[in-house]
Amino acid sequence: MRMPGKALAVAMLLACGVALADEDADFGVAPTRELRLADYAAPTPREVPGARTVRTAELRVWMQRDAPARPVLIDVVGGEEHDSIPGAVWLPGAGRGSAFDDAVQGKLAHVLVSLGVRPGEGGRATVFFCSGVNCWLSYNAALRAVALGYTEVYWYRGGIEAWLDAGGELWPMIRTWRPNT
């Protein structure tokens, strides 16, 4: 069953106990280079080691660029299919797993290459996001990309909540990946 964008947003906000998105909130959580293996719906650090945090205003500007310079947007929200930030690719499960050498890591590597994203200097910017600041799945996915050798890794910490809070629209996603397929 497909959840309309606004319904998903309301459900995520209620589930996380957040009334409004604050992509700059400082919860006092220290950054870590380790994957978070449980309790994914919890306050996040303000930055991901090896990646750069991007905010809504900057992301909006990037999305206006011509296709080759536009970032690849990776939505890692789990659950049912949902609408997302325009142009996003849905990779549910990319922020789960147990280690940087597990099956999720291999699948993520394969999917990123299939999207035209290459590791190393000068690669295409890749932005990972989730529901909002209380979601570790995008943090983990960004860590995974850094571990794969990607250098243009960005974390949109505010995620869908900040996007909606800034008046952004949600659209159907362009591609999906299920980690068990």
Task: Read off the pLDDT of residues 26-82 as tens digits, 9 standing for 90 and up.
Answer: 999 999 999 999 999 999 999 999 999 999 999 999 999 988 889 999 999 988 889
Taken in order of first residue, the domains within the chain and their CATH numbers are 5-165 (3.40.250.10)
Helices 103-114 & 137-147, crossing angle to 10 degrees? Answer: 80
Residue 163's contacts (CB-CB under 8 Å, 6 or more residues apart) are 56, 59, 85, 170
Question: pTM to 2 decimals?
Answer: 0.87
Tell me: pLDDT of 16 over 70: no
Give per-residue pLDDT as tens, 90-135: 999 999 999 999 999 999 999 999 888 888 877 889 999 999 999 9
Q: What are φ and ψ of residue 79, in 5° steps?
A: 90, -145
What confidence score (pLDDT) does residue 14 get?
A: 38
